[in-house]
Amino acid sequence: MRDQQVESGTSQDSRRANVEKTTVDLRVDGLCCTECAVAVEKALAHRPGVRQYRILTAAEKVQVDFDPRRVSAEEVAQSIAALGYKVHPVGALVARTLSSPRVFSPDTVRFAFVAVVALIALLEIGGEFLGWFEVAKERIPMPVLLATIALGGYPIFKRAALGLIHRQINVDMMMSVGILGAAALGQYTAAMLIVFFMNIAHYLEEFTTGKSRKAIQELIRLSPKTARIKLDGREIEVAVEALKPGDVVAIRPGEQIPADGVVVSGRSAVNQASITGESVPAEKQAGDEVYAATFNELGYVEVRVTRVGPDTTFGKIVRLVEEAEAVKAPIQKFADRFTTWFLPAAIGAAVLTYLVSGEPLFAIAVLVAACPCAVGLATPLSVVASVGGGARHGLLVKGGRYLEALARVDCVVMDKTGTVTFGKPQVTDMIAVNGLPEGEILRYAASLEKNSEHPIASAILEHARAKNIAIPDPEGFEYLVGKGLRGRVAGKTALLGNARFLRESDVPLSAAVETRAQALEQDGKTVLLLALDGSIVGAIAVADVIRDEVPAALAALKRLGIKRLLLLTGDNERVAAAIAAKVGVTEFRAGLLPEDKIAIVRELQQTGLKVAMVGDGVNDAPALAQADVGIAMGVVGSDVALEAAHVALMRDDWRQIPQAIIAGRRTYRTIRQNIALGITWDVVTMGLASVGILTPVMAAATEVVPDVLVALNSARLLNISHQPE
């Protein structure tokens, strides 16, 4: 499956951007590998009206953007169904995932019949050299053998025929040649056993790959099903799909919160493990946000709905996990190229075997042994298992590309405010100059900060309100990024900012003020200087609190072999040096504007380093996008942060950063193991088949082995976030 087509689909040029389009999500049973994806890709590429598509093999899902004036959703689904797949609307997902399989489905009955006949003949594998094969042939009547081949081989023959119709060489075509070739040579028992083992392979592959998809299924099981709406003093139970923003829902103890919203009454403790991965309940009261799929553990609360269904934070997590494989790791390109060229090469190998040996059964065995599915499954199963396992613990990686990038990271750059620190500073000191009372200094400063959303502004405003200081509105307010604030307060021109800002504004600074400010900064505090009508009148010191887990997390990064750790801040060098020393970082850059952070990331990348940038996901969004891996902390409830980052930490916990790097390294290592296993198995079995050591039946019996091993190896990644490197 070609990387550019899967990621961007058949994207058209911008001239058609205004054409109406509709998106449909389809569940495609049996969409399990690169070969399947290529078939679906070709079908959609030739369907008029299809604009873009994403093929998600590990999630067994296809997302299609189409023009409803040229093609309908039903026709899109029919294009895929024509390839022999069962196609369901994505809304049927939960029912399909949670319901038990039908015991007496046609597939089950057909397999049971094939299995009974095959078990009678299984002595052929061990007893062929003892003459038991002829006994087996005599015990099974010819009509039964033919019926078994026809019934058991029907799905294989059907997919092979569809491949021919769509001019695509597929594994089923090669299996069909093997089955029919064995039958044509009079090896009816062998043909029947090949059919049997192909069916066994199909069921085992579905079972084992399902283990790697377990993370997606477990997330889906957490989806809320019903809600109780408050209406005219009554509570009415409805399906979650019926909720809309503005509804008020009642949630009792032990019940699941059905949608994102705001508590309007009541008080409770809410378990948010499904979102953040942290099982310690969070206290909630009126005005607090709550999230869909979390659990109300204690009190009764009423919640006004703000977002429902796929728009909730939980809905977006599920979507990002399902779509993770579409953001393909570079190593997947190799697997795609291998799969594309492998089957034609296998046919060539079978022809060459026949020409050299003159034995048609040897050539048939080569065809039966050739199966690139394990290589095609190697990356998507590993990515989905790793991403899904991480999501259960509040660590969301947006695809294979970023897992591989995490594996290669050797430099971590971090923002200070709100990342290394809590981003909730407090006023700690005030310096009065020229006799202006501290209350007046605070009043002028709070007035300038009144329209700002910066954490330092919040600290100053909270301090002023705590002292019952009236805060006037500023006039002509101006915010100079990275420098300070300017405006008129009570008829005076007021400036509030760093020393550089005041110097650039021609405000002289006394030696005494600078000395006092430097002493505070050396203690890790940020000092804001206040000037009125061109004269310095005072200063306010603000300090932020370093997150407790940061020093240990940075030490863990060093143990993982990270070459450079770099702290970035808009504060001056003395504050930066004090914070860096407290967290154990030797490199820092101070006095930075937002664009400076992007330049620093680029500078590091140009030296050959693979850079991870850690920030808050909002103010640092450009630098996060520039980094090889952008890691945003505490993104719950923030759509901007969730979309901006390559890796999203659902809670503010620095310990997840070394875990993310470990997850990336283990996933990348697992993918390489899977690909090596798949290629080695194919080469060895085809080689043994070409010299007659593996019969067609033996080749069929061993074909499923690499698929199962790849799936089980990938499934180990489900719990990767709690394992040490």
Among the ranges given (334-343, 463-472, 616-625), the one the predictor scored with the smallest mean pLDDT? 616-625
Confidence of residue 111 (pLDDT cuts 50, 70, 90): low
Confidence of residue 301 (pLDDT cuts 50, 70, 90): very high
Q: Which of residues 31 and 105 earns the better pLDDT score?
A: 31
394-421+546-665 and 426-543 in the same fold: no
Confidence of residue 105 (pLDDT cuts 50, 70, 90): low
Confidence of residue 106 (pLDDT cuts 50, 70, 90): low
pLDDT of residue 654: 92
Confidence of residue 493 (pLDDT cuts 50, 70, 90): very high
Confidence of residue 125 (pLDDT cuts 50, 70, 90): very low
pTM: predicted TM-score of the whole model, two decimal places: 0.73
Q: Which of residues 99 and 260 earns the better pLDDT score?
A: 260
Q: What is the mean pLDDT of the chain?
A: 82
Q: Which of residues 103 and 227 earns the better pLDDT score?
A: 227
Confidence check: pLDDT of 351 > 60:
yes
- Residue 420: DSSP 8-state: I
Confidence of residue 553 (pLDDT cuts 50, 70, 90): very high
Confidence check: pLDDT of 40 > 70:
yes
Confidence of residue 541 (pLDDT cuts 50, 70, 90): very high
pLDDT digits (tens, 9 = 90+) for 508-530: 888 888 888 888 888 888 899 99
Residues 152-155: contacts with CB under 8 Å, at least 24 apart: 152/110, 152/111, 152/113, 152/114, 152/192, 152/195, 152/196, 152/198, 152/199, 153/179, 153/195, 153/198, 154/110, 155/84, 155/107, 155/202
Return the CATH class of domain 225-258+260-307. mainly beta
In the block, residue with structure tokens 């603000």:
542
pLDDT digits (tens, 9 = 90+) for 14-29: 333 344 558 888 888 7
Span 451-472, mean pLDDT? Answer: 87
Domain 3-98 has CATH 2.40.270.10: no
Among the ranges given (455-469, 532-546, 588-602, 634-648), the one the predictor scored with the smallest mean pLDDT? 634-648
Confidence check: pLDDT of 240 > 70:
yes
For 252, 264, 289, 652, the CA distances from 268, given in Å and listed in that order, are: 9, 12, 12, 22
Q: Which of residues 280 and 350 earns the better pLDDT score?
A: 350
Burial of 615 (0-12, 13-18, 19+ CB in 10 A): buried
Q: Which of 65, 172, 336, 415 is catalytic?
A: 415
Q: Taking a C-beta distance cutoff of 8 angstroms, is the pair 45, 11 a contact?
A: no
Span 641-670, mean pLDDT? Answer: 88
Name the superfamily (CATH) of residues 426-543.
Answer: Calcium-transporting ATPase, cytoplasmic domain N (3.40.1110.10)
Write out the two tokens for 1.
């499956």
pLDDT of residue 345: 92
pLDDT of residue 686: 94
pLDDT of residue 668: 93
Computed over its alpha carbons, how large is the radius of gyration of the chain? 32
pLDDT digits (tens, 9 = 90+) for 149-181: 888 888 888 878 877 777 777 788 888 888 999
Span 194-203, mean pLDDT? Answer: 79
Confidence of residue 388 (pLDDT cuts 50, 70, 90): confident
- Pick the closest to residue 172 from 42, 41, 60, 30 (CA basis): 30
Span 132-157, mean pLDDT? Answer: 74
Question: Facing residues of 249 across strands?
Answer: 229, 303
pLDDT digits (tens, 9 = 90+) for 561-601: 999 999 998 888 888 888 899 999 999 998 888 788 899 99
Domain boundaries, the chain: 3-98, 106-214+321-382+669-717, 225-258+260-307, 394-421+546-665, 426-543
Confidence check: pLDDT of 697 > 80:
yes
pLDDT of residue 167: 74
pLDDT digits (tens, 9 = 90+) for 256-279: 999 999 999 999 999 888 787 776
pLDDT of residue 628: 93
pLDDT of residue 73: 87
Span 123-129, mean pLDDT? Answer: 50
Q: No. of H helices and E strands in the chain?
A: 29, 26
Q: Taking a C-beta distance cutoff of 8 angstroms, is the pair 276, 651 a contact?
A: yes
pLDDT of residue 495: 93
pLDDT digits (tens, 9 = 90+) for 670-690: 999 999 999 999 999 999 999
Fold type of domain 394-421+546-665: Rossmann fold (3.40.50)
pLDDT of residue 600: 94
Q: Which of residues 110 and 175 earns the better pLDDT score?
A: 175
pLDDT of residue 512: 86
Span 72-88, mean pLDDT? Answer: 86
Confidence check: pLDDT of 123 > 60:
no
- Pick the closest to residue 55 from 126, 125, 2 (CA basis): 2
Confidence check: pLDDT of 132 > 60:
no
Active site residue 652: no
Q: Taking a C-beta distance cutoff of 8 angstroms, is the pair 295, 271 a contact?
A: yes
In this structure, how many other beta carbons lie within 10 angstroms of the beta carbon of residue 121? 24
For 411, 588, 610, the CA distances from 558, given in Å and listed in that order, are: 10, 16, 15
